[in-house]
Amino acid sequence: SQKIEQNSEALNIQEGKTATLTCNYTNYSPAYLQWYRQDPGRGPVFLLLIRENEKEKRKERLKVTFDTTLKQSLFHITASQPADSATYLCALDGGFQKLVFGTGTRLLVSP
Amino acid sequence: DAGVIQSPRHEVTEMGQEVTLRCKPISGHNSLFWYRQTMMRGLELLIYFNNNVPIDDSGMPEDRFSAKMPNASFSTLKIQPSEPRDSAVYFCASTRDRSEKLFFGSGTQLSVL
């Protein structure tokens, strides 16, 4: 069956460290993968998109990698700040314009 | 731009009642998506429209759920009759053709007692 897996346990890190979140998938062949941020009581907000022919993408303190052989994406936040505390969702192209989401990983950055 | 607008923000109803959720997509966006979010199952795609036409409703849980998009600026998701297991946050999202990223509304928190 098709699955998108993100670590359901919260990730706790100290301010200034690099946060690394993982997204693994099975039985999908996505043309692209996206990462979203969700704050409590709000809808997800788009952060980054990476395509299947791209290994890595960066935006300011964010970096995403995409390994289609391992069927895995890693999402990094460098020099993390308490304001980065949120739930981060990966989403992938499920075909026919459908975007399928993982359950998300909560990140807590303490001062 | 006001973004995707959903109403109501919160809805509390009793089992068996009809519930209607509303969504106004971003102007110029021609694809609209309804998602449901729960702790257990995360964000699930219920249905999506392209140019006001339903393209895929395979995520709609059962016949109690229906969705319409009578024009480019308005969509509804209706649950009739509602059940406690329908309690969740319902999100609407929109996007342009050939743009993969979605713009989400703030959601409707539905509680069915």
- CATH code where residue A60 lies: 2.60.40.10
Domain assignment of residue A109, yes or no: no
Q: What is the mean pLDDT of each run of 10 residues along chain A (111 residues)?
A: 88 97 93 95 96 94 95 97 97 84 95 93
CA dist list (Å): B48 to A48, B33, B87, B92: 22, 4, 20, 10
- Residue B25, chain A, CB below 8 Å: the answer is no
Could you give the CA distance from residue B100 to residue B112 in angstroms, rounded to a whole number? 33
Domain of residue A33 covers 3-8+18-102
Looking at residue B76, what DSSP letter applies? E
Please list every residue in chain B whose beta carbon sits closer than 8 Å to the beta carbon of residue A104. 42
Name the residue of chain A whose CA is nearest to B92's CA: A43
Distance CA B64, CA B82 (A): 8
Question: Which residues on chain B are in Cβ contact (under 8 Å) with A42?
Answer: 106-107
Q: Is residue A89 part of a domain?
A: yes
Read off the pLDDT of residues B49-90 as tens digits, 9 standing for 90 and up.
999 999 999 999 889 999 999 999 999 999 999 999 999 999
Residue B1, pLDDT above cutoff 70: no
Within a domain: residue A107? no
Would A110 be classed as within a structural domain? no
CA-CA distances (angstroms) from residue B8 to A47, B5, B44, B70, B99?
Answer: 27, 9, 20, 19, 28
**Overall number of domains in chain A:** 1
Task: Return the percentage of chain B with pLDDT > 90, whole number.
Answer: 87
Is residue A41 within 8 angstroms of chain B, CB to CB? Answer: yes
The reply to whether A49 falls in a domain is yes
